[in-house]
Amino acid sequence: MLNLFIDSFIVLFVVIDPVGLAPIFAAITHGAAAEYRRRMAIRGVFIAGVILVVFVFGGAALLRALGIGMPAFQIAGGLLLFLVAVDMVFVRQSGIRSTTEREQREAQQKEDVSVFPLAFPLIAGPGALTTVLLMSGKYAHQAHGIMIVLAVVLIVLGCALVALLQAARIMRFMGETGANVVTRVFGVILTALAVQYVLDGLSAAFARAVAAI
């Protein structure tokens, strides 16, 4: 159980990347009052939490309803996470794990940025949703596994909230370059994890094919 918790925490923490959220959040709330930033941070994390929790409990059912087997989703999810990792390594904004420049400009003109782009796609983006689906689908028939995944989601969201609330301090301490270095390191780790997901999916698919013969 401890290994499950540690593995799940590392994957989701790397995908959401709370440290990397700080400079983006600082940019889209630049010039806003401290109370506004605090309110947007809390609301955005809450909305993202609701989305992720729904995927924790409904992810396996969704895959079954769509007729998608876990091996297929592991392969697809691993490939998607690999693209997320590439974005992190090169610190670029492709819209997979963060907002594009146009989306950031749109967000700066909005009074409420908690839903878009903060909750989605910055926190509960495609990478995070895929990760939660992979973890919850793998342990769909194990109550303790689902509870561990849920705990991991809540803890990582707590880390994200702290990072958002302290975004100004983080930027003063680390600067843009420091935050990018952390993101690149996380990206390298996520690359290996993504490849592992693909290998697990291929292995499971091969085992099913052999068993069906």
Q: Which pLDDT score, from 0 to 100, does residue 151 have?
A: 95
Out of 49-58, 100-109, 174-183, 192-201, least confident range: 100-109
Instruction: Determine the average pLDDT of the residues in 175-201.
Output: 86
Share above pLDDT 70 across residues of the chain, in percent, rounded to a whole number: 91
CB half-sphere exposure, 53, CA atoms < 13 A: 11
Is residue 118 within 8 Å of 38, Cβ to Cβ? Answer: no
DSSP structural state of residue 67: T
Sequence letter at residue 66: L
Contacts of 89 (CB under 8 A, 6+ apart): 184, 187, 188, 191
Residues 6+ apart with CB under 8 A from 178: none
54 has a pLDDT exceeding 90? yes
Confidence category of residue 124, pLDDT binned at 50, 70, 90: very high
Note whether 77 and 138 are within 8 A (CB). Answer: no
- Answer whether 26's CB lies under 8 Å from 167's CB: yes
What is the crossing angle of helices 18-28 and 101-108, to 10°? 50
Residues 6+ apart with CB under 8 A from 26: 167, 168, 171
Mean pLDDT of 37-58: 95
Q: What confidence category does residue 94 fall into, taking pLDDT thresholds of 50, 70 and 90?
A: low
The domain ranges of the chain are 2-212
33: left (phi over 0), alpha (psi -120 to 50) or beta: beta
